[in-house]
C-alpha cells in the first residue's frame, strides 16, 4: 500500500500519537510506504477563505466555482496543492482523530473543506446521463480509506443501542458524504474506546487490534454503501420504491449492513 496517514491530535505524546507510531511501524514492517500529514504539527489552516484562491476580494466569493477555477488554473494555495499531491500519490487514506463532539476536530474537517475541491476530488459528469459521477464513482475511485478514532466513551455507548448513537451513523457525513462521495471505498472504522483511561492492558489490546486492521486492510470488505448511478437511486436521486422501505436512516444507504462496531 501507499498510505497517507492523516493525524489530528494536538499532542504526539498522546494515546493517539502512540497508536500512530505503532501503526507506521507496522506498515513499514510489512513493506508498505507511508506519508504523514500531522495537521497540528504542520499548523494546518482549516479555514476556507478567498485567499486560498487568488480571488479578487471586491467580487462576491462563490466558494464552489472559485475553488474549482483556482484548481483548474493552477493557483490554489500551495499548502492545498501539497496535500492534493499526497492524496494522488496514495492508494489508501488513514484518517485518525479523537472524536470531539461526535465528529472530527475542526483542523481535520477543514482539511477536507480545503483539499477536496471540485475538479480534484469530484465534478466528473457522465456524458451519457448528465449525472454527476459520485457516491462510489468519480475522481478518487480505486482508493480505500479507514477511520481510526479514539473516544472517551465505552464502545457499547457508540453501538446500535448506545446513548451516543452508532459510530457508523455519527461518521456517515465523513464515510458516506465525503469519502464515498468522491469514489473512495471505506472499510469499517476502528474505534479505540475509553481512551482517556487506558490501562497497559487496554493499550496492548488497542495496538493488537490496530496491527490486525492494518495488515488486513487491503483485503477487508468495505462498507457496502449503495452506488448512486447503478440502479439503486432514481432520476431524482431518491432510493427506488422497490428497495425495502426499512431500514430507514443512514442504514438505507447500505446494500448490506455494516458489521457492528466493537472494542
SS3 (DSSP) at 18: helix
Can residue 197 be called a binding residue for its own copies (CB under 8 A)?
A: no
CA 258 to chain centre: 16
* Nearest distance in Å: CB 215, its own copies: 29
Distant-in-sequence, close-in-space partners of 174: CB < 8 Å, separation ≥ 6: 95, 103, 104, 112, 147
Can residue 196 be called a binding residue for its own copies (CB under 8 A)?
A: yes
- Note the residue count of the chain: 263
Can residue 249 be called a binding residue for its own copies (CB under 8 A)?
A: yes
Longest dimension (CA), the chain: 59
Name residues contacting its own copies, limited to 116-135 (CB under 8 A): 116, 135
- Write the interaction track for its own copies spanning residues 221-240; mark x where CB under 8 A is met and - where it is not: -------x----x--xxxx-
Q: Which residue has the cell 467580487?
A: 59
Please, what is the end-to-end C-alpha distance for the chain in angstroms?
A: 26
Among the residue ranges 58-66, 79-87, 183-191, 211-219, the one whose residues contact its own copies (CB under 8 A): 58-66
Can residue 112 be called a binding residue for its own copies (CB under 8 A)?
A: yes
Contact present, 168 and 175 (Cβ < 8 Å): yes
State the Cα–Cα distance between residues 2 and 149, nearest whole angstrom.
21
* Nearest distance in Å: CB 155, its own copies: 11
Among 105, 183, 193, 258, binds its own copies (CB under 8 A): 105
Among the residue ranges 47-55, 69-77, 82-90, 140-148, the one whose residues contact its own copies (CB under 8 A): 47-55
Among the residue ranges 11-19, 139-147, 186-194, 208-216, the one whose residues contact its own copies (CB under 8 A): 11-19
Q: Mapped to the 3 state alphabet, what secondary structure does 48-87 carry?
A: CCHHHHCCCCCCCCCHHHHHHHHHHHCCCCHHHHHHHHHH
Can residue 203 be called a binding residue for its own copies (CB under 8 A)?
A: no
Can residue 253 be called a binding residue for its own copies (CB under 8 A)?
A: yes
Q: What are the b/e assignments for 234-255, b being 16+ CB within 10 Å? A: eeeeeeeeeeeeeeeebeebee
SS3 (DSSP) at 148: strand
Among the residue ranges 25-33, 84-92, 103-111, 209-217, the one whose residues contact its own copies (CB under 8 A): 103-111
Nearer to its own copies, 7 or 135 (CB): 135
Can residue 160 be called a binding residue for its own copies (CB under 8 A)?
A: yes
State the Cα–Cα distance between residues 260 and 243, nearest whole angstrom.
23
Q: Name the grid cell of 160.
A: 446500535
State the Cα–Cα distance between residues 69 and 72, nearest whole angstrom.
5
Can residue 192 be called a binding residue for its own copies (CB under 8 A)?
A: no
Q: Name the grid cell of 22.
A: 505503532
Can residue 42 be called a binding residue for its own copies (CB under 8 A)?
A: no
Can residue 164 be called a binding residue for its own copies (CB under 8 A)?
A: yes
Contacting residues toward its own copies, per CB under 8 A? 10-11, 13-14, 40, 46-50, 60-64, 98, 100-107, 109-110, 112-113, 116, 135, 152, 154, 156-157, 159-166, 169-170, 172-174, 176-178, 181, 196, 228, 233, 236-239, 246-253
Amino acid at each position: 500500500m501507499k498510505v497517507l496517514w492523516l493525524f489530528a491530535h494536538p499532542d504526539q505524546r498522546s494515546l493517539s500519537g502512540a497508536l500512530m507510531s505503532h501503526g507506521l511501524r507496522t506498515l513499514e514492517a510489512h513493506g508498505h510506504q507511508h506519508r504523514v500529514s500531522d495537521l497540528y504539527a504542520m499548523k494546518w489552516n482549516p479555514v476556507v477563505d478567498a485567499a486560498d484562491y487568488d480571488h479578487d476580494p471586491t467580487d462576491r466569493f462563490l466558494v464552489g466555482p472559485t475553488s474549482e477555477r483556482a484548481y483548474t488554473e493552477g493557483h490554489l494555495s500551495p499548502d492545498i496543492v501539497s496535500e492534493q499531491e499526497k492524496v494522488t500519490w496514495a492508494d489508501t487514506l488513514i484518517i485518525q482523530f479523537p472524536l470531539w463532539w461526535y465528529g472530527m476536530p475542526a483542523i481535520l474537517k477543514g482539511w477536507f473543506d480545503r483539499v477536496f475541491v471540485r475538479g480534484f476530488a469530484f465534478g466528473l459528469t457522465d456524458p451519457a446521463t448528465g449525472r454527476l459521477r459520485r457516491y462510489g464513482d468519480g475522481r478518487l475511485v480505486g482508493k480505500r480509506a479507514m477511520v481510526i478514532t479514539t473516544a472517551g466513551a465505552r464502545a457499547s455507548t457508540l453501538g446500535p443501542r448506545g446513548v451516543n448513537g452508532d459510530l457508523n451513523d455519527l461518521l456517515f457525513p465523513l464515510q458516506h458524504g465525503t469519502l464515498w462521495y468522491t469514489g473512495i471505498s471505506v472499510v469499517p472504522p476502528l474505534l479505540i474506546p475509553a481512551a482517556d483511561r487506558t490501562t497497559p492492558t487496554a493499550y496492548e489490546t488497542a495496538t493488537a487490534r490496530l496491527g490486525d486492521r492494518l495488515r488486513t486492510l487491503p483485503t477487508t470488505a468495505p462498507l457496502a454503501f449503495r452506488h448512486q448511478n447503478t440502479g439503486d437511486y432514481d432520476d431524482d436521486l431518491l432510493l427506488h420504491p422497490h428497495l425495502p422501505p426499512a431500514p430507514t436512516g443512514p442504514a438505507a444507504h447500505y446494500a448490506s449492513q455494516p458489521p457492528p462496531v466493537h472494542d
